[in-house]
Amino acid sequence: MEDIYLKIQDVNKIYHNLLKEDTIALKDINLDVKQGEFISILGPSGCGKSTLLKILGGLEKLSSGTMEYKGGNDHELGFVFQDSVLLPWKNVQENAEFPLVIKKKLNDENKKKLDELLELAGLSEFKTALPRELSGGMRQRVSIVRALSYDAPLLLMDEPFGALDAMTRDHLNEELLKIWQRTNKTIIFVTHSIEEATFLSDRVIVMSPRPGRIKEIVNIDLPRPRGEQTRNDERFAEYNKYLRGIIG
Protein backbone atom coordinates (compact mmCIF):
# COMPACT_ATOMS: atom_id res chain seq x y z
CA MET A 1 0.00 0.00 0.00
CA GLU A 2 1.29 3.45 -0.90
CA ASP A 3 2.32 5.72 1.95
CA ILE A 4 -0.55 8.24 2.23
CA TYR A 5 0.45 11.59 3.72
CA LEU A 6 -2.88 13.39 3.41
CA LYS A 7 -6.43 12.06 2.94
CA ILE A 8 -9.12 14.52 1.83
CA GLN A 9 -12.68 13.17 2.04
CA ASP A 10 -15.96 14.77 0.90
CA VAL A 11 -14.69 18.34 1.40
CA ASN A 12 -17.15 21.13 0.62
CA LYS A 13 -16.76 24.90 0.96
CA ILE A 14 -19.78 27.23 0.95
CA TYR A 15 -19.58 31.00 1.38
CA HIS A 16 -22.76 32.26 3.06
CA ASN A 17 -24.13 35.66 2.12
CA LEU A 18 -27.15 37.28 3.75
CA LEU A 19 -27.89 39.48 0.74
CA LYS A 20 -27.80 36.90 -2.05
CA GLU A 21 -27.54 33.18 -2.72
CA ASP A 22 -24.79 31.19 -1.03
CA THR A 23 -21.71 30.51 -3.19
CA ILE A 24 -20.58 26.89 -3.44
CA ALA A 25 -16.82 27.14 -3.98
CA LEU A 26 -15.88 23.45 -3.62
CA LYS A 27 -18.03 20.33 -3.85
CA ASP A 28 -17.24 16.72 -2.93
CA ILE A 29 -13.44 16.91 -3.05
CA ASN A 30 -11.81 13.51 -2.47
CA LEU A 31 -8.06 13.03 -2.82
CA ASP A 32 -5.23 10.93 -1.34
CA VAL A 33 -1.80 12.60 -1.42
CA LYS A 34 1.22 10.32 -1.17
CA GLN A 35 4.31 11.03 0.90
CA GLY A 36 6.88 12.97 -1.15
CA GLU A 37 4.50 13.45 -4.09
CA PHE A 38 4.40 16.53 -6.32
CA ILE A 39 0.77 17.35 -7.15
CA SER A 40 -0.48 20.27 -9.23
CA ILE A 41 -4.04 21.63 -9.07
CA LEU A 42 -5.09 22.97 -12.46
CA GLY A 43 -8.28 24.64 -13.60
CA PRO A 44 -9.98 27.83 -14.82
CA SER A 45 -10.14 31.03 -12.77
CA GLY A 46 -12.70 30.88 -9.98
CA CYS A 47 -12.78 27.06 -9.77
CA GLY A 48 -11.62 26.99 -6.14
CA LYS A 49 -7.96 26.00 -6.58
CA SER A 50 -6.62 28.62 -4.17
CA THR A 51 -9.56 28.07 -1.80
CA LEU A 52 -8.66 24.38 -1.53
CA LEU A 53 -5.02 25.26 -0.89
CA LYS A 54 -6.01 27.73 1.86
CA ILE A 55 -8.18 25.07 3.49
CA LEU A 56 -5.23 22.67 3.46
CA GLY A 57 -3.07 25.41 4.96
CA GLY A 58 -5.55 26.26 7.70
CA LEU A 59 -6.23 29.73 6.29
CA GLU A 60 -9.86 28.86 5.46
CA LYS A 61 -12.29 26.56 7.24
CA LEU A 62 -14.02 23.80 5.31
CA SER A 63 -17.82 23.70 5.47
CA SER A 64 -18.01 19.91 5.65
CA GLY A 65 -15.83 16.88 5.09
CA THR A 66 -12.55 15.78 6.65
CA MET A 67 -8.79 16.11 6.16
CA GLU A 68 -6.45 13.65 7.84
CA TYR A 69 -2.70 14.15 7.90
CA LYS A 70 -0.21 11.38 8.58
CA GLY A 71 0.65 11.52 12.26
CA GLY A 72 -2.38 13.68 13.10
CA ASN A 73 -3.53 17.18 12.23
CA ASP A 74 -0.94 18.88 14.44
CA HIS A 75 1.46 19.27 11.52
CA GLU A 76 3.79 21.91 10.12
CA LEU A 77 3.69 23.23 6.58
CA GLY A 78 5.25 25.92 4.44
CA PHE A 79 3.14 28.25 2.28
CA VAL A 80 4.41 30.14 -0.77
CA PHE A 81 2.00 32.80 -2.05
CA GLN A 82 1.59 34.47 -5.45
CA ASP A 83 3.59 37.40 -4.09
CA SER A 84 6.84 36.78 -2.25
CA VAL A 85 5.62 38.86 0.77
CA LEU A 86 9.15 39.45 2.02
CA LEU A 87 9.84 41.92 4.80
CA PRO A 88 11.33 44.91 2.93
CA TRP A 89 13.60 46.01 5.77
CA LYS A 90 15.22 42.57 6.17
CA ASN A 91 17.85 41.15 3.84
CA VAL A 92 17.75 37.72 2.15
CA GLN A 93 19.35 35.90 5.09
CA GLU A 94 17.05 37.56 7.63
CA ASN A 95 13.91 36.92 5.58
CA ALA A 96 14.83 33.27 5.06
CA GLU A 97 15.49 32.64 8.75
CA PHE A 98 12.50 34.63 10.03
CA PRO A 99 10.28 31.55 10.70
CA LEU A 100 13.12 30.01 12.70
CA VAL A 101 13.37 33.19 14.77
CA ILE A 102 9.61 33.18 15.42
CA LYS A 103 9.67 29.50 16.39
CA LYS A 104 12.86 30.00 18.47
CA LYS A 105 14.65 27.34 16.44
CA LEU A 106 17.54 29.41 15.06
CA ASN A 107 20.24 27.03 16.28
CA ASP A 108 23.53 26.05 14.62
CA GLU A 109 22.06 22.94 12.98
CA ASN A 110 19.17 24.85 11.39
CA LYS A 111 21.49 27.68 10.32
CA LYS A 112 23.60 25.11 8.48
CA LYS A 113 20.52 23.64 6.76
CA LEU A 114 19.41 27.14 5.81
CA ASP A 115 22.80 27.89 4.26
CA GLU A 116 22.48 24.69 2.20
CA LEU A 117 19.02 25.74 1.00
CA LEU A 118 20.25 29.22 0.07
CA GLU A 119 23.08 27.66 -1.91
CA LEU A 120 20.72 25.20 -3.62
CA ALA A 121 18.47 28.14 -4.59
CA GLY A 122 21.43 30.12 -5.96
CA LEU A 123 21.15 32.80 -3.27
CA SER A 124 24.42 32.39 -1.37
CA GLU A 125 25.93 35.50 -2.94
CA PHE A 126 22.86 37.63 -2.14
CA LYS A 127 22.46 37.03 1.60
CA THR A 128 22.87 40.72 2.45
CA ALA A 129 20.69 42.04 -0.39
CA LEU A 130 17.34 43.68 0.39
CA PRO A 131 14.18 42.58 -1.48
CA ARG A 132 14.11 45.80 -3.56
CA GLU A 133 17.54 44.85 -4.95
CA LEU A 134 16.32 41.49 -6.25
CA SER A 135 14.42 40.44 -9.36
CA GLY A 136 10.93 38.97 -9.02
CA GLY A 137 12.28 35.49 -9.60
CA MET A 138 14.93 35.84 -6.92
CA ARG A 139 12.37 37.15 -4.42
CA GLN A 140 10.28 34.05 -5.02
CA ARG A 141 13.35 31.87 -4.44
CA VAL A 142 13.77 33.54 -1.06
CA SER A 143 10.12 32.85 -0.22
CA ILE A 144 10.58 29.16 -1.12
CA VAL A 145 13.69 28.89 1.07
CA ARG A 146 11.82 30.65 3.89
CA ALA A 147 8.94 28.16 3.60
CA LEU A 148 11.42 25.26 3.78
CA SER A 149 13.61 26.74 6.51
CA TYR A 150 11.97 24.95 9.44
CA ASP A 151 11.87 21.60 7.64
CA ALA A 152 8.07 21.29 7.36
CA PRO A 153 7.13 18.10 5.48
CA LEU A 154 4.43 19.79 3.34
CA LEU A 155 4.87 22.74 0.99
CA LEU A 156 1.78 24.51 -0.39
CA MET A 157 2.38 26.82 -3.37
CA ASP A 158 -0.26 29.18 -4.78
CA GLU A 159 0.79 30.21 -8.31
CA PRO A 160 4.22 31.37 -7.08
CA PHE A 161 5.57 32.00 -10.60
CA GLY A 162 2.41 33.35 -12.21
CA ALA A 163 3.62 36.94 -12.47
CA LEU A 164 7.00 36.06 -14.01
CA ASP A 165 8.02 36.03 -17.67
CA ALA A 166 8.05 32.67 -19.45
CA MET A 167 11.84 32.18 -19.47
CA THR A 168 12.21 32.98 -15.76
CA ARG A 169 9.25 30.76 -14.98
CA ASP A 170 10.74 27.79 -16.86
CA HIS A 171 14.08 28.26 -15.09
CA LEU A 172 12.46 28.44 -11.65
CA ASN A 173 10.39 25.33 -12.42
CA GLU A 174 13.66 23.46 -12.90
CA GLU A 175 15.16 24.97 -9.73
CA LEU A 176 12.05 24.01 -7.75
CA LEU A 177 12.30 20.39 -8.89
CA LYS A 178 15.95 20.27 -7.79
CA ILE A 179 14.98 21.56 -4.34
CA TRP A 180 12.04 19.12 -4.13
CA GLN A 181 14.20 16.14 -5.09
CA ARG A 182 16.88 17.12 -2.55
CA THR A 183 14.48 17.80 0.34
CA ASN A 184 11.89 15.04 -0.32
CA LYS A 185 8.94 17.29 0.60
CA THR A 186 5.32 16.73 -0.35
CA ILE A 187 4.29 19.62 -2.61
CA ILE A 188 0.80 20.75 -3.64
CA PHE A 189 1.08 23.41 -6.32
CA VAL A 190 -1.70 25.59 -7.75
CA THR A 191 -1.26 26.86 -11.32
CA HIS A 192 -3.13 28.19 -14.35
CA SER A 193 -0.42 26.88 -16.67
CA ILE A 194 -0.95 23.50 -18.32
CA GLU A 195 2.71 23.27 -19.35
CA GLU A 196 3.89 24.08 -15.82
CA ALA A 197 1.61 21.44 -14.32
CA THR A 198 2.84 18.79 -16.77
CA PHE A 199 6.49 19.65 -16.27
CA LEU A 200 6.43 19.62 -12.47
CA SER A 201 3.96 16.98 -11.42
CA ASP A 202 3.59 13.34 -10.59
CA ARG A 203 -0.18 13.88 -10.87
CA VAL A 204 -2.32 16.78 -12.09
CA ILE A 205 -5.69 17.40 -10.43
CA VAL A 206 -7.99 19.03 -13.00
CA MET A 207 -10.79 21.11 -11.47
CA SER A 208 -14.16 21.95 -13.03
CA PRO A 209 -15.61 25.49 -13.11
CA ARG A 210 -17.43 26.57 -9.94
CA PRO A 211 -18.58 24.77 -7.97
CA GLY A 212 -15.10 23.29 -8.05
CA ARG A 213 -15.02 19.52 -8.36
CA ILE A 214 -12.21 17.18 -9.29
CA LYS A 215 -12.93 16.56 -12.96
CA GLU A 216 -10.05 14.16 -13.58
CA ILE A 217 -6.72 13.09 -12.07
CA VAL A 218 -3.96 12.64 -14.65
CA ASN A 219 -0.77 10.67 -13.92
CA ILE A 220 2.26 12.28 -15.58
CA ASP A 221 4.55 9.43 -16.61
CA LEU A 222 7.61 11.41 -17.69
CA PRO A 223 11.09 10.42 -16.50
CA ARG A 224 12.91 12.37 -13.78
CA PRO A 225 15.01 14.39 -13.38
CA ARG A 226 13.26 16.77 -15.76
CA GLY A 227 14.79 19.59 -17.76
CA GLU A 228 14.83 21.04 -21.26
CA GLN A 229 14.78 17.54 -22.75
CA THR A 230 11.42 17.00 -21.04
CA ARG A 231 9.85 19.94 -22.88
CA ASN A 232 11.11 18.51 -26.18
CA ASP A 233 9.63 15.08 -25.45
CA GLU A 234 6.64 14.17 -27.64
CA ARG A 235 4.81 12.85 -24.58
CA PHE A 236 5.11 16.27 -22.92
CA ALA A 237 3.15 17.78 -25.80
CA GLU A 238 0.64 14.92 -25.68
CA TYR A 239 -0.02 15.47 -21.96
CA ASN A 240 -0.48 19.20 -22.56
CA LYS A 241 -2.97 18.50 -25.35
CA TYR A 242 -4.86 15.99 -23.20
CA LEU A 243 -5.09 18.36 -20.22
CA ARG A 244 -6.22 21.19 -22.46
CA GLY A 245 -8.97 18.95 -23.76
CA ILE A 246 -10.19 18.14 -20.24
CA ILE A 247 -10.31 21.81 -19.28
CA GLY A 248 -12.05 22.64 -22.53
Distance between CA atoms of 32 and 55, rounded to whole angstroms?
A: 15
Domain layout of the chain by residue ranges = 4-75+154-247, 86-152
CA nearest neighbour of 15 among 67, 61, 56: 61
In the prediction, which pLDDT does 162 show? 85
Half-sphere exposure for 95 (CA within 13 Å, toward CB): 27
Is the model more confident about 197 or about 108?
A: 197
Q: What are the tens digits of pLDDT across the range 58-92? A: 999 999 999 998 866 667 889 999 888 999 999 99
CA 44 vs. chain centroid, Å, equals 17
pLDDT tens digits along 153-176: 899 999 999 888 888 889 899 999
4-75+154-247 belongs to which CATH class?
alpha beta
